[in-house]
Amino acid sequence: MLRFLTAVAAAPVQVILLISAAVALVGCSRPSTLQEVLAEDVLHVITREAPSIFYEGRDGATGYDYELAKRFADELGVELRVRVAEDNTEILSVLSRNYAHIGLAGLSGQPGIAGQYRVLPTGITAQSVVVYHRDQMRPKSLEDLTGQTLHLVAESNHEHLIADKNQGFDWQVHPSIDAAGVLARVESGEFAYAVVSSNELELNHVFYPHVKKAFYLGEPEELAWLFPTDQDNTLVNAASEFLDKLKADGTLDQLAERFYGHLDQLNYVGARTFMHHVDNRLPKYEELFQDYASDFGMDWRLLAAIGYQESHWRPNAVSPTGVRG
């Protein structure tokens, strides 16, 4: 021992530092997942592009799950770093290897998911719904699909609902297309019948007027964030407490209203008209809306929405009662 201490005393400073670091690591426990996030100053999230989860809007990234994740990262005081996957198969693969902290996949805590990942519900409930092209017979149950093929995306909420049923129909999983792609193929008539999540149908239905809802499969399930099981509970517990706070102060309801509250107000023509006005009229007044909204502590998009409701952003609009836009 004396020889060891003598040797250490005579060693270069770099060697002493390395020995000290090794001793410190032996004596310390591994940091928790939350501590790792805070130490790196980054929250790593993997997701896919979908109107219900994440997409690039006019003002940058948005989407219900993205907005929640951004608020959570801000609450932790860290950067939100988003990796966009091709599909849910890639998201689940990344989470299984613990290469991201949270997965935003639009999945529920269904059998097979809850056993492989830590699951945290996020406030949006959805059901699996069978859809069909309007020129086809409307099925009322799976029994009506005998001899037909149901189409669905891979790694979805739907497979476990139909996998064990033997009703005389086929079903085909498509790993290379998302829910919007499935709906587009039903719209064109390429697919006669398909299964999608009700929330994704609600967000997309105005763009596919030939797609009709037939019936639901199973009960409503709450969609969830997914966490790798290699993590400890510290990050998921912090996220759970954060979501509880947003639920209590009304933020969850506000976000749900923002992304889902308008869905029964527009038809196909109205949606197309609105998108055209967003691209061609809104840019002229966006800065004005932002300036006035900041004066009153409002979300400028709310002010813009009021303006659209009143005049479709036409400054010379005149109502039947003489009110000018």
pLDDT in tens, 205-220: 888 989 999 999 989 9
How many CB atoms are located within 10 Å of the residue 182 CB? Answer: 25
Supply the residues annotated as catalytic.
310
Nearest CA-CA partner of 221 in 198, 201, 203:
198
Q: Within a domain: residue 319? A: no
Q: Within a domain: residue 206? A: yes
For residue 306, the SS3 value is helix
Q: Within a domain: residue 39? A: yes
Judgement on whether residues 157 and 291 belong to the same structural domain of the protein: no
What CATH number corresponds to the domain at position 194?
3.40.190.10
Domains in the chain, number:
4
Nearest CA-CA partner of 194 in 134, 129, 141, 108:
129
Over residues 184-200, mean pLDDT: 96
Judgement on whether residues 153 and 200 belong to the same structural domain of the protein: yes
Judgement on whether residues 47 and 62 belong to the same structural domain of the protein: yes
Minimum mean pLDDT among 65-69, 220-224, 292-296: which range? Answer: 292-296
Tell me the pLDDT tens digit for each residue of 244-299. 999 999 999 999 988 887 655 555 555 556 555 667 777 887 788 788 778 877 77
Judgement on whether residues 130 and 206 belong to the same structural domain of the protein: yes
- pLDDT, greater one: 79 or 177: 79
Q: Within a domain: residue 164? A: yes
Q: Within a domain: residue 316? A: no
Task: Quote the pLDDT of residue 5.
Answer: 40
Q: Within a domain: residue 324? A: no
User: What are residue 157's phi and psi, to 5 degrees?
Assistant: -85, 0
Positive or negative torsion for Cα 45, 46, 52, 56: positive
Judgement on whether residues 120 and 227 belong to the same structural domain of the protein: yes
Taking the C-alpha atoms of residue 186 and residue 175, their distance in angstroms, rounded to an integer, is 16
Query: Domain range holding 58?
Result: 33-124+223-260
Judgement on whether residues 116 and 229 belong to the same structural domain of the protein: yes
Judgement on whether residues 118 and 237 belong to the same structural domain of the protein: yes
DSSP string, 76-140: HT-EEEEEEESSHHHHHHHHHTT--SEEEEEEES-TTTTTTEEEEEEEEEEEEEEEEETTSPPPS
Q: Write down which residue in 220, 248, 280 finishes a domain.
A: 220
Task: Quote the pLDDT of residue 322.
Answer: 52
Judgement on whether residues 16 and 72 belong to the same structural domain of the protein: no
Tell me the pLDDT tens digit for each residue of 166-189. 678 899 999 888 999 999 999 999
Residue pair 55/114 in contact by the 8 Å Cβ criterion: no
Give the rounded percent of residues in the chain with a pLDDT score beyond 90.
Answer: 58
Judgement on whether residues 54 and 9 belong to the same structural domain of the protein: no
Q: Within a domain: residue 317? A: no
Judgement on whether residues 96 and 228 belong to the same structural domain of the protein: yes
Please, what is the angle between helix 251-260 and helix 234-249, to 10°?
A: 80
Judgement on whether residues 3 and 55 belong to the same structural domain of the protein: no
Tell me the pLDDT tens digit for each residue of 7-41. 444 444 444 334 443 443 444 578 999 999 999 99
Task: Quote the pLDDT of residue 317.
Answer: 65
